[in-house]
Amino acid sequence: MIPNPELKEPDIHEVADLLTEVASTLMTSGAHTSRISQNVSRMAETYGYQVGLSVFQLSIMMTITSLENSHERITLIKKTDPLLINYTIVSDLSALSWDTFDGKITFEDARELYQQITTKKRISRWAVLLLVSFANAAFCGLFHGDIYAISLVLFATMAGFLIRQEMIKKHINHLVVYTTSAFVASLLAGMAYVYNIGATPDIALASSVLYLIPGVPLINSILDIIQGHILTGMARLVNAISLIVCISIGLFSSMLILGLEKL
Amino acid sequence: MTSEMFRLVIFDAILAAVAAIGFAVISNPSRKAIFVSALLAAIGHSLRFFLIKSGLDITLATFVAATAIGLLSVAFARIIHCPAEVFSFPSLLPMIPGMFAYRTILSLIKFMQNTDSKLDQVFIMDFFHNGMTAMFILFALVVGVSLPLLLFPKSSFSVTRKY
């Protein structure tokens, strides 16, 4: 900590408000638990406080204690928003916590920067749609699907992902979103069976739903578990598995309609 | 390495890079991070492809590939000043055992519906085979990529520090 004479000591309530905001935003943006607690403790230390932090799936709990006067302490619980992965925020907030720690910015600056970071625009949804479609088509190629399978998967993914984007915009339950999106994508890819397109209809069907697999939550959950945050890790794992179950149900429904026994 | 093998590895690397870019943009990283994760995914996935073709099993090959990605990501994190996981996790996404994961659930559904007692064993075998493979690959990915994080925690967490 670099002592800075111009720095006005911020009030404990203000610090606690900012830190709970930062922690819950990091949780929403898909940071793993130990990064959340490192970033928050680093900022708190700069202002002369110590934090104890518990991270759960739906809320975070934080006790903040003054290092000089241990009677001055408060505990806050804050609800976290549903997961919307945003690595730009994770990266920027990590940088913000170091800037704070190195004494380069005042508390007021930090609060303003936090506002700027969280209101940055995301990548355009159409660009995401196009790139995800090509990614899933490339994935079909990785499993040795032929060119017919690849182009079919491209269109199936485009339709499935578009439906997912629209449904998320209307705030429909995310389990329903995943099931519907998987159903539509796999039904379209299953047309390879109906019209005998290409030599590898099985690969087209099997890789058509892979864009939905919640990769980052799965990685975060295992990382949390091996770093000792077992409860949070299990919560994330169960969440990811329930999404995978929904994907399977969507896929299974279209296999039922197409009359396919085995994938 | 024969020229045919070399061609296949390069083909695999290109497809993996395209896949990584697409799956990365869902998590909205910065533009620099997208390119780095495409590069790392190409290196990691083609390394895994080569190792599997050389006779290694998929879990061990994944572990080696993920460790390579982890080590490279620490180096890149220093260059572009952004936490390593922002581009190392997206570069793992093409290796996530998605197909094994949903096949696990599908074989459970089949087991539940099935009335032929001989087929029961087939579905349960399917369930365990797919489920175990998915779980082991997932652990191999995460342990491999976070080895540098566990070995050099200080340098891994301070890459966004500017001063």
Interchain contact A238–B (C-beta under 8 A) = no
- What does the pLDDT read at residue A20? 93
User: Which has the closest alpha carbon to A187: A213, A215, A163?
Assistant: A163
Task: Report the greatest alpha carbon distance in chain A.
Answer: 76
Quick one: what percent of chain A has pLDDT higher than 70? 96
Residue of A nearest to B106 (CA): A248
Please tell me the predicted confidence (pLDDT) of residue B163: 58
Q: Read off the DSSP letter of residue A105.
A: S
Residues of A in contact with B28 (CB under 8 A): 85-88, 122-123
pLDDT of residue A107: 85
Q: What CA–CA distance (Å, rounded) separates A67 from A3?
A: 15
By three-state DSSP, how is residue A28 classified? helix
- Binning pLDDT at 50, 70 and 90, where does residue A248 land? very high
pLDDT tens-digit map of A149-205: 999 999 999 999 999 999 999 999 999 999 999 999 999 999 988 888 888 888 899
Examine the pLDDT at A121 and tell me if it is beyond 80. yes
Q: Over 90: is that where the pLDDT of A105 sits?
A: no
Question: What local confidence, expressed as pLDDT, does residue A70 receive?
Answer: 81
pLDDT at residue A69, rounded to an integer = 83
Instruction: For residue B106, list chain A residues with Cβ-Cβ distance below 8 A.
Output: 248, 251-252, 263
Judged by average pLDDT, the poorest of A26-35, A138-147, B12-21, B142-151 is: B142-151
Contact A161, A173 (CB under 8 A): no
ipTM of the complex: 0.89
The answer to whether residue B60 scores a pLDDT higher than 90 is yes
Find the mean pLDDT for residues A240-249: 94
Percent over 70 (pLDDT), chain B: 93
Tell whether A219 is within 8 A of chain B (Cβ).
Answer: yes
User: What average pLDDT does the structure give for chain A?
Assistant: 89
Interface test with A, best of B12, B18, B21, B28 (most A CBs within 10 A): B28
Q: How confident is the model at residue B156 (pLDDT cuts 50, 70, 90)?
A: low
For chain A, the 3-state helix, strand and coil shares in percent, each to the nearest 5, are 65, 10, 25
Chain A residues with CB inside 8 Å of B139's CB?
A: 222
Q: How far is CA A187 from the centre of its chain?
A: 27
What pLDDT was estimated at residue B144? Answer: 92
CA of B104 to nearest chain A CA: how many angstroms apart?
Answer: 9
Look at residue B162 and tell me if it is in a domain: no
- Res. A263 pLDDT band, cuts 50 70 90: low
Which phi and psi (to 5°) does residue A69 adopt? -130, 100
How does pLDDT run across A53-84, given as a tens digit for each residue?
998 888 999 999 988 888 888 999 999 988 88
**Which of A41, A126, A142 to mutate against chain B (most B CBs within 10 Å)?**
A142
Map out the domains of chain A as residue ranges: 12-118, 125-258
Residues of A in contact with B102 (CB under 8 A): 209, 213, 244, 247-248, 251
Q: Is residue B163 part of a domain?
A: no
Residue B147 has a pLDDT of 87
Domain that holds residue B40: 3-157
Hey, how many other C-beta atoms are within 10 angstroms of the C-beta on A77? 11
A98: chain B residues, CB-CB within 8 Å: 158, 160-162
Residue pointed to by tokens 């979103």: A177
Look at residue B67 in the predicted model and tell me its pLDDT.
Answer: 93
Q: Which residues partner with A118 through β-bridges?
A: none
Q: Which of B8, B11, B25, B158 to mutate: most A Cβ within 10 Å?
A: B25
**Which residues of chain A make contact with B30, given a CB cutoff of 8 A?**
87-88, 91
pLDDT confidence tier of residue A8, bands split at 50, 70 and 90? low
Sequence-separated (6 or more) residues with CB below 8 Å from residue B8? B49, B53
- Token readout for A194 is 């109906």
Per the model's pLDDT, the better-predicted residue between B159 and A217 turns out to be A217
> What does DSSP say about strands A73-79 and A49-55: parallel, antiparallel, or unpaired?
unpaired
Other CB atoms within a 10 A radius of the CB of residue A1 amount to 10
Closest chain B C-alpha to A37 CA, distance in angstroms: 12
Tell me what pLDDT residue A162 has.
95
Q: For chain B, what is the domain count?
A: 1
Question: Could you read off the pLDDT of B84-138 as tens digits, one per residue?
Answer: 888 888 999 999 998 999 999 999 998 998 888 888 899 999 999 999 999 999 9
pLDDT over threshold 60, residue A227: yes
